[in-house]
Amino acid sequence: MEFGQYKIFLLVFKHYKSINLKLLLPYSRWLFFFSVLTAFLLGCSASKKEKKKTSFMKNLTAHYNIYYNASEILHASELNIQSSIQDDYSQLLELFPIPDTAVSSGESENLNQVIDRANRIALEKYESNWVDDAFLLLAKAEYYKGNFYNAAEYFDYVGQNFPNEPENTVEALIWQAKTFFALQHYPQADSVLKIASGKNIKAHADQLNAAIAESYILKKDYHSAADYLATAVDKSQSRYSRIRWTYILAQLQELTNQPEQAYDSYIRVAKSN
């Protein structure tokens, strides 16, 4: 009930009480009161419908006008950053290459656009269902710019504050772990990955297993790393990740004296190109 409507109802009811009821027939008295009550209830219903309409419009504009465009811009920057990676194939490749500073600088205009649009959702469309998605975009843009501390804070915010969005929560935790890898905060990365694993969410299983594999690689436990990375490859829907991870899996299989499995993995990479 809106305060304004409540006030109007009281004024009408007060006016009704001031009428000489003796001059009205019983039927007329009840008809008058029923009419006032009906008008009041219809006003409340209209208010609720208006709120639903406003919420619907905020969801619509947040998604199609802002979020969709921002996610497309971010995806384009991701592709540019990925294509610029210079790998040394004589060494064990990185599962999650840290963005090159020079390349990130070249994408700064696009990444700043993503940050601006994500902030618009957070500030102007805070009643929409896209706030957690907006903060994820914002965090990823900061990550690709090399602002890892900012990114870690935003990922942590999503991971802590949106319990009704389990898929985004897990994705934020995985990216937070990747950010901690970039910062060389390895115990914090392990802690976050344990939380993500404990969620038992099927979504992002490829990224989660790859991140756990990275943790084992850093500990030089290549057997465990290979096991988790094999699972990540099987679950991945990304062609880029699947090819890169399969090559790294072959390298791990070489390091663990599994030449036949390594050969099969290298063949899978060759057939993918």
Confidence label for 248 from pLDDT (cuts 50, 70 and 90) = very high
Q: What is the pLDDT of residues 139-194, one digit of tens each?
A: 999 999 999 999 999 999 999 999 999 999 999 999 999 999 999 999 999 999 99
Banded model confidence at residue 35, pLDDT cuts 50, 70, 90: low
Q: What is the model's pLDDT at position 14? A: 45
Q: What is the mean pLDDT of the chain?
A: 83
- Kindly state the tokens that stand for 241: 């990740």
Burial classification of residue 190, based on how many CB atoms lie within 10 Å of its CB (0-12 exposed, 13-18 middle, 19 or more buried): middle
**pTM, full prediction:** 0.78
Q: Mean pLDDT across the stretch 59-78?
A: 80
199 vs 58, residue with greater confidence:
199
Question: Higher model confidence: residue 42 or residue 114?
Answer: 114
Amino acid at the residue 140: K
Rg (CA), the chain: 28
